[in-house]
């Protein structure tokens, strides 16, 4: 019984590490349009003032096999953010099946020339003040999984193809491509080490690639949706994580797909804490 409990805790710890990794992986004219031209215009548009205010819905679905046991993990995160002032609100849930569920919610706001964070770990709200450096670090972390997937990997895309189709009620350019492992090596290094992998000893080129599909609004060049199929990559990462252990050869990621929808550009308005959050005690 004790052995089973230890195994369960180990698996839950592993899944939590993977969830953190996904947060890091997580937004990214003349003549005939090409995938490269569309991405160049979309990348430029993504740093415009209009693109700074938006909402997004992120889902991450993962299935893995540990010996004869199938484990599933589903993550959902709904966010909204503004550029001026730079505020953000994220509500996330993580369902690890038999290993439990976790819910978190966070606001990072500018209030009276101070930076305030309201945090809910699933049981209670806490409030704390942050200095400029702390605020920047946390915003960079959150933006890393919410919106930087769109711009971070554009330079590492290969095998680009483009079609036009309807997406979320808009005419969109659909660009299918592949992100090489080299292009995401830097982003993955810290997370691999959190899983007990010595990233400096890993041959990144052997970790496979990531399927990358982005839909760009044909009218505004703002992103509508981003899908990343990380099954091949994460299966290789997990093999590295258990190499040399008793679990070697028994852990396999059979599916890992990330999807982010972007909407309400320029329509977020003011972000304020909920009544419960606002009444939280100072940490």
Which CATH number is 19-282 given? 2.50.20.20
Q: State the Cα angle at 189 between 131 and 80, rounded to 5°.
A: 45
State the pLDDT at residue 179: 80
- For 152-195, the pLDDT digits (tens) are 556 667 888 999 999 999 999 999 998 876 666 665 665 566 55
pLDDT attached to residue 192: 61
* Secondary structure (H, E, C), the chain: CHHHHHHHHHHHHHHHHHHHHHHHCCCCCCCCCCHHHHHHHHHHHHCCCHHHCEEEEEEEEEEEEECCEEEEEEEEEEEEEEECCEEEEEEEEEECHHHCEEEEEEEEEEECCEEEEEEECCCCEEEEEECHHHHHHHHHHHHHHHCHHHHHCHHHEEEEEEEEEEECCEEEEEEEEEECHHHHHHHHHHHHHHCCCCHHHCCHHHCCCEEEEEEEECCCCCEEEEEEECHHHHHHHHHHHHCCCCCCCCEEEEEEEEEEEEECCCCCCCCCCCHHHHCCEEC
Lowest mean pLDDT among 67-81, 179-193, 257-271: 179-193
- What is the chain's mean pLDDT, rounded? 77
Number of neighbouring beta carbons within 10 Å of residue 76: 15
Encoded tokens for 225? 């949706």
What mean pLDDT is predicted for residues 130-150? 63
% of residues, the chain, pLDDT over 90 = 30
For the sheet containing 157-167, what is the strand order? 157-167, 170-179, 210-217, 223-229, 251-263, 54-66, 69-83, 86-95, 101-111, 114-120, 125-130, 281-282
More confidently predicted of 193 and 82: 82
Closest CA to 264 of 68, 4, 78, 127: 78
Residue-level pLDDT at 154: 62
Per-residue confidence (pLDDT) for residue 22, from 0 to 100: 46
Q: Say which range, 3-17, 49-63, 136-150, 203-217, has the weakest mean pLDDT.
A: 3-17
CB 99 within 8 A of CB 8: yes
Query: What pLDDT does 152 receive?
Result: 55
> Exposed, middle or buried by CB within 10 Å (0-12, 13-18, 19+), for 181?
buried
d(CA 53, CA 85): 10
Higher-confidence position of 239 and 14: 239
Q: 212 or 21, which is more confident?
A: 212
* Residue pair 278/119 in contact by the 8 Å Cβ criterion: no
Other CB atoms within 10 Å distance of the CB of residue 245 = 11
- Among residues 64, 53, 121, 83, the alpha carbon closest in space to that of 265 is found at 53
6-31 average pLDDT score: 46
pLDDT tops 70 at residue 69: yes
Q: Residue 33 has what pLDDT?
A: 73
With contact defined as beta carbons under 8 Å apart, do 27 and 226 qualify? yes
Query: In this predicted structure, what is the pLDDT of residue 270?
Result: 92
pLDDT score recorded for residue 44:
80
Q: 268 versus 7: which is more confidently predicted? A: 268
Residue 35 has pLDDT above 60, yes or no: yes
Q: pTM of the predicted model, to two decimals?
A: 0.76
The reported pLDDT for the residue numbered 39 is 84
């Amino acid at each position: 019984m004790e052995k089973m409990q230890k195994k369960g805790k180990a698996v839950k710890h592993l899944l939590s590490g993977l969830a953190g990794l996904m947060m890091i992986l997580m937004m990214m004219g003349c003549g005939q349009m090409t995938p490269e031209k569309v991405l160049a215009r979309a990348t430029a548009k993504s740093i415009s003032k209009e693109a700074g205010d938006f909402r997004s819905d992120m889902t991450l679905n993962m299935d893995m096999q540990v010996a004869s046991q199938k484990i599933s993990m589903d993550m959902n995160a709904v966010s909204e953010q503004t550029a001026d002032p730079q505020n953000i609100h994220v509500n996330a849930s993580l369902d690890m099946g038999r290993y439990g569920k976790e819910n978190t919610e966070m606001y990072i706001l500018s209030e009276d020339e101070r930076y305030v964070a309201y945090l809910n770990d699933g049981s209670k709200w806490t409030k704390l003040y942050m200095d400029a450096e702390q605020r920047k670090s946390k915003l960079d972390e959150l933006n890393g999984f919410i919106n930087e997937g769109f711009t971070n990997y554009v330079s590492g895309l290969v095998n680009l193809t483009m079609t036009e189709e309807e997406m979320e009620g808009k005419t969109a350019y659909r660009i299918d491509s592949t992100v090489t492992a080299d292009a995401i090596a830097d982003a993955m290094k810290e997370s691999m080490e959190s899983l007990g992998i010595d990233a400096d000893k890993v041959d990144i080129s052997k970790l496979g690639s990531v399927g990358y599909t982005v839909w760009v609004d044909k009218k505004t060049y703002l992103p509508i949706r981003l899908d990343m199929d990380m099954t091949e990559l994460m299966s290789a990462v997990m093999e590295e994580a258990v190499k040399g252990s008793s679990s070697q050869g028994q852990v396999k990621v059979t599916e890992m797909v990330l999807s982010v929808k972007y909407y309400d550009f320029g329509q977020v308005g003011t972000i304020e804490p909920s009544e419960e959050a606002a009444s939280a005690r100072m940490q």
